[in-house]
């Protein structure tokens, strides 16, 4: 088989996978939306006075007519502004507006185009606005789910009419596809990230994994401009606004999802973060070297699982592999501790990276020795994390720490469990239940129960949940 034939077959496989993802999401979304509407209609009539809830009264209630969609019409403009002013900073609480990712003009441009990103942003904005005002507004919730359904339909149509070769070669089309998919994932995070986030993540990471930093961002953004890329890329060498932002966004979700999916990152995160000028902290607050370590731990867990299934797991080899990652983490933690100690105004990224790094050490220990909270190395890392969180600056939100808080909290012993329960419960109350902090707390409590019943009998870190959760 020649190279051209193999390439065509690979493109066909990706296209079919993306379309299958959309079919699955549409099917599950239709079921969820129908259930949501039936529940709201039932509750609505139950709360009406008897005279109004009679069958005769129900027959004369007019069906709500949907207003035509207008890009930046009065209602849409209000939702777009609410998204840009409030929801965006809930999604990215550590976003650096003065960084290389700071220009949001590309986002406004895509929102004004009226495509799938626009509909997805309206859906997320409507849900957030309803939560902020703390009112149960069935009509507004229904409106949000209608926007969500429109976003799914438009993204599916976008995928149908856009050839895979075009999606891989046209940077503007790629940015629209990636931004829409990531926005829909954020919509799922609002609901606890327990449902339809994975098909979207699969689709966007599959497509983005076909690109290299040199091909997508240009040699000017690469620290190794001598490399020659054979990946698909358009003839336009001008960088597409927003692609750097979207790549960091996708790598962030790709790496942190591994603890739930049990797989390795699909995007070549080392190549992107070591050979380009991208810095993860500019978007999600955590330095790239910590995120690289988390990605490496996902590979370590996958290697361990594979060796166990083959009956060839070497414990000394496992320890040696983990030690290399642990050494990098510990050296980085020492530097972060020094930075925070010597600087009363230490950068936000130092605090955020410190917690992520400590959580990574906890995760590494569970991979090697199992999820036993009584292990000295786990107790030490958890204790340090508690000390850091007790001194946490009030000006820095906890909103971007769901992953490390859940990982560390799951391995907390009885001495520290009340601290993590109070921390997450108070945060959940403060944000009105918006996001997946409540889901993370449930996972932690389930882990504590397993610790009591099984102790050291468990051999793998497996969060006790019936569905996969995106801890963002």
* Arithmetic mean of pLDDT, 248-266: 95
Residue 347 lies in a domain: yes
Same domain? For 307 and 280 the reply is no
Query: Region 439-446: what's the mean pLDDT?
Result: 92
Task: Give the residue numbers spanning the domain of 121.
Answer: 74-217+241-284
pLDDT at 198 over 80: yes
| Distant-in-sequence contacts of 129-134, Cβ < 8 A, 24+ apart | 129/79, 129/82, 129/86, 131/432, 131/433, 131/434, 132/86, 132/432, 132/434, 134/432
Query: Is residue 269 one of the residues assigned to a domain?
Result: yes
Tell me, yes or no, whether 266 and 352 share the same domain: no
SS3 28: helix
Do 251 and 126 share a structural domain? yes
Task: State yes or no: pLDDT of 42 exceeds 70.
Answer: no
Same domain? 383 vs 263: no
The yes-or-no verdict on residue 27 having pLDDT over 60 is no
pLDDT higher at 23 or 454: 454
Q: What is the pLDDT of residue 434?
A: 80
Task: Calculate the average pLDDT of the chain.
Answer: 81
Residue 395 lies in a domain: yes
Domain annotation covers residue 163: yes
Asked if residue 35 is part of any domain, the answer here is no
Residue 401 has pLDDT above 90, yes or no: yes
pLDDT of residue 466: 42
Please check whether residue 91 lies inside any domain of the structure: yes
Q: Which residue has the higher pLDDT, 147 or 462?
A: 147
- Give the residue among 18, 250, 14, 16 at the shortest CA–CA distance from 156: 18
* Higher pLDDT, residue 236 or 423: 423
Closest by CA to 409, choosing from 371, 367, 354, 458, is: 371
**pLDDT score at 358:** 98
Q: Do residues 193 and 472 lie in contact, with contact meaning Cβ atoms separated by under 8 Å?
A: yes
Residues 120 and 153 both lie in one domain: yes
Q: What percent of the chain has pLDDT over 70?
A: 75
Residues 278 and 313 in one domain: no
pLDDT in tens, 308-365: 999 999 999 999 999 999 999 999 999 999 999 998 889 999 999 999 999 999 999 9
**Domain presence at residue 227:** no
Cα 269 → chain centroid: 15
The three-class DSSP label of residue 471 is coil
Question: Considering its fold, how many domains does the chain have in total?
Answer: 2
pTM (2 d.p.): 0.82
271 plus 411 within the same structural domain: no
Q: Do both 192 and 338 map to the same domain? A: no
Position 17 in a domain? no
Neighbouring residues of 231: CB distance < 8 A, sequence distance ≥ 6: 210, 211, 212, 215, 216
Statement to judge: residues 306 and 442 lie in one domain? yes
**Same-domain pairing of 402 and 279:** no
Measured between alpha carbons, how far apart are the two ends of the chain, in Å? 42
Residues 85 and 163 reside in one and the same domain: yes
What is each CA distance from 141 to 145, 147, 196, 203, in whole angstroms? 6, 10, 18, 27
Does residue 272 sit in the same domain as residue 313? no
Chain centroid to CA 450: how far? 26
């Amino acid at each position: 088989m020649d190279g051209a034939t193999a390439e065509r077959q690979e493109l066909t496989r990706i296209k079919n996978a993306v379309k299958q993802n959309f079919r699955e999401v549409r099917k599950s979304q239709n079921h969820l939306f129908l259930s949501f509407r039936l529940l709201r209609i039932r509750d609505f009539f139950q709360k009406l006075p008897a005279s109004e809830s009679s069958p005769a009264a129900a027959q004369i209630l007019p069906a709500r007519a949907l207003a035509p969609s207008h890009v930046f019409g009065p209602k849409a403009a209000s939702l777009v502004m609410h998204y840009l002013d409030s929801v965006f900073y809930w999604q990215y609480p550590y976003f650096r507006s003065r960084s290389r990712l700071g220009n949001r003009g590309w986002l406004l441009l895509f929102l004004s185009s009226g495509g799938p990103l626009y509909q997805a942003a309206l859906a997320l904005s409507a849900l957030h606005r309803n939560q902020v005002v703390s009112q149960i507004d069935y009509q507004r919730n229904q409106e949000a789910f209608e926007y969500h359904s429109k976003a799914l339909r438009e993204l599916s149509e976008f995928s149908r009419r856009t050839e895979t070769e075009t999606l891989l070669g046209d940077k503007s089309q790629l940015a629209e596809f990636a931004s829409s998919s990531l926005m829909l994932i954020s919509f799922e995070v609002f609901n606890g990230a327990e449902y339809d986030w994975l098909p979207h993540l699969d689709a966007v990471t599959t497509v983005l994994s076909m690109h290299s930093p040199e091909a997508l961002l240009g040699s000017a953004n690469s620290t190794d401009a001598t490399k020659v890329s054979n990946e698909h890329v358009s003839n336009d060498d001008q960088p597409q606004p927003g692609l750097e932002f979207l790549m960091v966004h996708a790598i962030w979700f790709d790496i942190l999802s591994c603890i739930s999916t049990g797989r390795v990152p699909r995007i070549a995160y080392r190549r992107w973060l070591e050979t380009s000028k991208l810095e993860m902290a500019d978007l999600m607050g955590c330095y790239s070297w910590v995120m690289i370590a988390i990605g490496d731990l996902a590979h370590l867990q996958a290697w361990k699982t594979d060796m166990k299934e083959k009956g060839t797991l070497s414990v000394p080899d496992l320890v040696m592999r983990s030690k290399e990652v642990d050494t990098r983490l510990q050296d980085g933690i020492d530097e972060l501790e020094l930075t925070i100690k010597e600087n009363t105004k230490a950068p936000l990224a130092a605090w955020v990276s410190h917690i992520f790094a400590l959580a990574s050490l906890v995760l590494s220990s569970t991979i090697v020795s199992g999820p036993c909270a009584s292990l000295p190395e786990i107790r030490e890392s958890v204790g340090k994390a508690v000390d850091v969180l007790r001194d946490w600056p009030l000006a820095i939100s906890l909103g971007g720490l769901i992953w490390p808080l859940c990982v560390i909290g799951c391995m907390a012993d009885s001495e520290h469990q009340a601290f993590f329960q109070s921390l997450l419960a108070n945060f959940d109350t403060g944000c009105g239940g918006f996001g997946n902090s409540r889901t993370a707390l449930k996972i932690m409590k389930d882990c504590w129960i397993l610790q009591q019943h099984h102790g050291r009998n468990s051999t793998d870190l497996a969060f006790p949940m019936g569905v996969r959760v995106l801890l963002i």
